[in-house]
Each structure stands twice: as C-alpha cells, then as structure tokens.
Structure 1
Amino acid sequence: MVFNRKHIENLILVTVLTTFSGQIYLSPTGGTFRLSMAVAVLTVALIHFRKLPVMLVCGTVAVTIPLFRSVVDYFSVLDADFGDIFRSYLPVVSFYISYGFLFLLLSIREKLSHPLSFILSLWLCDSFSNILEFSLRQLISPANIVSDVLIQIILMGLARSVLTYFLYNTTLYYIERYDRSYQENRYREMIMFISSLKSELFFLQKSIVDIENTMKDSYDLYRHLESGPQKEQVLSIAKNIHEIKKDYYRVASGLEKVLSAEEDRSSLSSREIFDLIRENYQKLSTNRQLHIHFEFHCRTPFVTAEYYPLISVLNNLIINAVEAIQQYGRIVVEGRLEGSIYRFSVTDNGQGIRPEDLELLFIPGYSTKYDTVTGRMSTGIGLCHAQEIVENHFGGNIHAESDPELGRTTFCVMIPFDRLQEVFIP
C-alpha cells in the first residue's frame, strides 16, 4: 500500500482518538490492567477507515497507549519511576497485537451485514486478547482473583462488542446524514448558479438579436449612401458589428452546451422550487444581518421542466424585495392558478415605490438603490432580466404595485399555465 498524506492524517486521528478514549476504563484488579473504551473506538475506526492496514493501526496504538498512560501516571504520582510505570503497562502491547491479528483472521470488516456474527467475532477478539494480556500480567505479578477477573473480562467483552456495533451504526447514520445534507446543499447551489447563468444567457441572446438588427440597419444605410468616405466607414462599422455578433454567438453557444450538460434533472415541483429559494434567501438575509421573515405559499402545486428560468425570475424579484428592507421585514411569495394563467406574487413591507417610479422599474439601468458603504448605485438590470424572461420566454407579463405610505410593494408575474406546467398536482 502506498501511503499518502490523507492516510497519515487518518492514522494520526485514529491513534489520538483511541489513546484518549483509553482513559475511560474499568479496572477489575485495581492495578494497571484495564477494560477501556479504546477497543470500541479502535474497532469503529478500523471499519470506517478501510484503507488503513489493520496491523499498522493496532501496532501504533499498542505503542502510544502504554506510553500515554505511563506519562499520565508519572505526573500523577509523586516520586514515581517512569521505567517501572512503563514496564507495568507493557502487557497492553500484547492485547492490541493479538486484537489486530484476530480482527484480520476473522474478517470483521466483512461481517457488518450479519449483526450476530459480527458481535460474536468481536467478542472473541476482545475476550481472547484481554485474557492473553491478563495472563502475561499474572506471570509478572500474580493475583488471587483470577476467576472473578476472567468473568469480568468475558462479560465486558460482550458488552463492548454490542456497544461497538451500535456505536458504528450510530456513527454511520450521522456520516450519511452529513453527506446527504452536503449533497443537497451542493445541488441547491448548483441550481441557483445555473438559474443565474440562464438569466444572463437570455439577456445575451436578446443582445444577439439586437446586434443582428443593428448590423442590418448599418448595411441598409451603406446601400443607400452614395460612394464616398462615409459609405466605406458605414461598411466598416457593419463588418465590426458582424464580428461582435459572432463573438456573442460563440459565447452563447458555449454557455448553452455547458448548461445543457449540467441539466441532469428534467423537472422540479413547485414545492421543491420554493424550498430551494427559501433556504437560499434565509442564508442571504442571515449573512447580511437582516431579520426577514420569509413566507412561501403555493396554492396550486405543479411540476415544471422550466424551473431554471422560473427560479431566475423569482430570484430577481426576491433580491429586489430584500434590498428594499433595511433591517426588519417580511417577504411573502405566493403562487396560484387563476383560470389559464398562473400568478406569482412577491410582496415585501419595505420602503415602497413612488408612483412616478413604477413605470421606470423595468428600464435597463434604472435603480433607486445604492450601497450605503461604497455609495455605488445598483446596476438596475435584475428587474429587466426578469421582464425579459417572463415576456419573451414564457409569453407572460409582469407588473408592480406599491403603496409608499404603507411600505408595501407587490410584483406580479402572470404566466400562461400551459407554458409552465408539465404535470398538474391536484
């Protein structure tokens, strides 16, 4: 086996955990012979870190545990001789070497799917190794309570084996739970990221159309101009616009390929969409130290394949609502079917919008928001993006209603339901 840094780190971790857990123990003879929790921790670690050689781990632990116990006793007892203390703990080495050998011989790692066989095999490893250690101690310093100690060793071995089985399964449960939570967070982040890219892609595609129209206008102007320097200049402008269009097209095509490769799921339900957005903005408000209460209500559930553009629209509306709230506030997102139209609404109790500003909201670059720290104005393209997607992709419409006196603003998105739904959930 070739060792790398990760293997060394795991070996150190197992050694440290096992060594320290060895300080939780029962001493049936009242001396240095101990029945500790180190065995349970070591067994769980050997099962979990399957790439670590069993005998290497057990050999390392066989050295560190008696050494650590000797150091602890040396500093705990006045006028103690370290050599004598260390020699009294040396039989521990026999326990861990024997335990590792039997662990391999009985193939403990392969018996996890058979609880009874697993526990009995561990019991044998534990009891035999402890009896071996106790026998060596008897040769060094005989005790008169042999039968009582042997009974305790056997019973403690059974108890530790059962405990180890439940400890491993508990550890496995929390590891799987953590992994599942991590994967879900990664999946949510990926969807939010792709929805943002999709939004930019829609705008990029619109720009390609605008560039194409501008190029045609330039060429028409070239054809109508009489010969002269202006005519050649207009032709040069048309050629340059054509080159820009090709660059835009290459970028858009590249983005489409990347996004299509990432779209590994065909559809999401409205509940899943709302859950994704809720968790994302709860984290955002916490990071910004805002106290915002989010409410999501889906009155008419559905499943859609158009979740990326839909998330992009709702994202832009919700971030607009978040920016309208200074410290404390409430944002309500609602979806309901009204005839053949699905209506989404995003309502906040922020600062409100003046009537004269309502008609300007969706103009690119228009914004009333700015960063209080840097003084920079907002880009003013979020709502424009949302309008572009709603109108040109979904064939719907979007408008805003606001009451500045009450500080209440609602953005309404109306989308034909047949453009949105894949499956209706009654």
Structure 2
Amino acid sequence: MAKFKKIFLGTMIVTISSQFYIDILLSDFRITCAIIALGLFLYLNEDINPIIMGITVSFSTYIWRTIIHFLTYGFDAKIIGAYTPEIFFYIVYGILFWKFIHKRSLFRVNLNLFFLMTTFCDFTSNIVEISIRIIYYNHKFYFNIITFLLLVALIRSSAVWIILTILKYYKMLILKSEHEKRYRKLLWLTMILKSEMYWMDKNMDKIEKVMTNSYKLFEDIRDGRNSDNWASSSVKIASDVHEIKKEYELVLRGVQEITNNRYKDNGMYFKDIISILEEKMQNEIKYKNLHVKISVERGHDFYTDKHYQLMSIFRNLLMNAFEAIDESKGTLDIKLIHKSLKSEHLFKVIDNGKGISKEDIEFIFSPGFSTKIDYETGYINRGLGLSLVKDVVENHFKGYIEVESSLGSGTSFSIYIPNNEIEVSK
C-alpha cells in the first residue's frame, strides 16, 4: 500500500510537471519538465521499480494531455494517435534507468556519474520517440534535431544534478546539527555513566571482602573453629550483601534513567543504521588488525525507533564472527543480508569461518557458554553476545533466530522479525 501511494503521488507530480513544455520542430513533439521530476523521484525512492513508474507515467501523461486537448480544442480522433509516441519515451526511460542506474549504488553515491547516465537515458528515449514519429507518422527529419535533443538532455540532467546537490548539502547541514546535539547528549550521558561506574568499582572491593569473609566462615565451620562467631559472621555477611544489593539498585536506576524516554532518539532509517555499523566495524577490524571483509546487501529501507536494539544485534553477531577466523583460509568473509519478506524482515549474517560443532551448537545461546579460548593467555570470552542476541530478538522484537553451521564450513545466523515490531511511521 505504501509503494502504491508513492507511485500514485509520483505519477501525479510528473504528470503535472509535463504541462511545462516547449514545442520544437516536429508536430506534437514536446520537451517538458516531466523528466526532471521523474529523475528526481526515481533517485529519491530507490524502492520503486523504474519500469513500473515509467509505464504509469507514460499512460498518465498521455491521458492528461489528450483530455487537455479535447477540453481546449474539442474532440479530434487524430490526436489519440498523435500523442501515442510519447508513451514509448517514458517506458524506454524507465527501462534504461532500471538497467543502468537503479541497482548500481555507485551512481547514487556519485552524482556526476548519475548526471551522465540520466543524460544518456533522456537522450536515448527522445531518439526512440523521434524515430517512431518519423517512421510511422511520416514526420520530416531535421539534422539539427539530434544536437538539440542532446542539449535538452544535458539541460534537464543538469537541473536534476543541481537539485540533488542542493538536497545533499542541505541534508549534510541537518546531519551536522543532529550530530552536534547527539555529541552534547553523549557527553552528558558519559558523565552519568562514569559516576555509576565509580559506585560499581567501589562495590568490587566490598564484594572481595564478602567473598573472603564467606570463605573464612566456611573454613571455620568445616574445621569446627570459632563456633561462637558463626552466627555473627553470617549476619555480617548477609548485611554486607544487602548493602551491595542496595548500591547496585541505585546503579541500575541510574542506568535506566539514561535509557528512558527523556534520552531516546526518535528513530533512524535502516540505511543509516547500516552505515554507522559498517563504519564502526571497519574501525574494529583496523584496530584489531584482522583480515576480515564485510559485504552488505540491503533490501528496501524502513524507519524504526528500535535502532539501538538492532545495532546491538548486528554488532554482537559480527563480533562473534570476528572470533571465528580460520587462519588457514586467509581472509574471513562476512555477509550481512537484509530481505523484506511479506510480513517480516529477514536478516542474515553469514561467515566462512571455523564453524561450530554439532555438540556445541545447541548451547551457543546459553549465557556464559563460549568456544573462544586463548590457550596462551587463558582468556575466555564472556559468552554473553549470542545469549543477548537471542533474548532481544525473541523478547523485544517477538521474532526468532535460526543457526546453521558445521566445522570448517562457516556459520549462518538468520533472524526473522515481524514488520509491525520493527517498522514505525516517521
């Protein structure tokens, strides 16, 4: 339904803009502003199929132009055929845009390349329309029309380029302003977290003392010593544990205050989440000097107010994959794939690392379980990442997670999240 509304709105805008035109040498052949509107619409709405858009626009402008002619000059059967070649212009433009621009992210990132390709699409589509008029409608051919059409294509594509460049820099200004706000907020939140970390660090000494006193009491009871002090020692340990619990409740309250509605961002688009994730993971790869290559395949964009949870899921899965490097294979290849299904989103994280044995795979989501052990340093991974991922997916998103793996063949995690649990209107 959302796509249908977009197509309908875009078609109306392009159709209306087609009424701004100039007539040239051939009868019934117009140079309009519609292609400027169509190029902008297709660039800004990459989830819309250009071929479908080209077809809807072609018939909409044809019908609109015919109605305007009938209302102005009265009924004329010849006009029905005279305006038909214009249909092919928009259809050809849609096909060329789909073929050369739609699925190529390079042309969306580099506006100069986009300018060149839209010029080509515009010029070629006009050549097709002119050819139909000359071959089937016996219109006279003028040599200077080729130069004129190329000039028109350059002018219209330049208009698209200028508008997109202005939008790009406008977005950069808005983004800079948002980043400044988030940076100030981050400084404030960091200050709060540091104060909470002070209490946590202070409690570590208390916990060590409680553990020492508890073990001493255990030894006394085991050896039958100082029996007169058993009761008082037990009460002292219980009292100390209660004090630690109270202080940790204060810490928890402080952390919860940081994450409540007062500090929440409204939300983010999925493409921005992925952009931030890629940047941070590349920094992690560089910092740890890892031989890792990450590739991303993203489906249609959406807006969500659960961006922190999504980022946490992807980060933990990617960090888990980093630790699965099989040095005998050289570079670790990781793919993050997003697909929009009928009623849910599918996110897959696939790596070609060491893989997981059949014996271990049923325990990987258990808190504390880990197969990552450094036998030289004795360091053991905390084993909380995958447990956290499963908990967030199932309890926060009402989704589910699947895993496929075998030793030496890599691992694939598939996460399914219902649309209504992740998508919100901006």
- Fold-level similarity (TM above 0.5): no
TM-score when normalising by structure 1: 0.43
TM-score when normalising by structure 2: 0.43
Which fold has the larger relative contact order, with Cα–Cα distance below 8 Å and residues 6 or more apart in sequence? 1
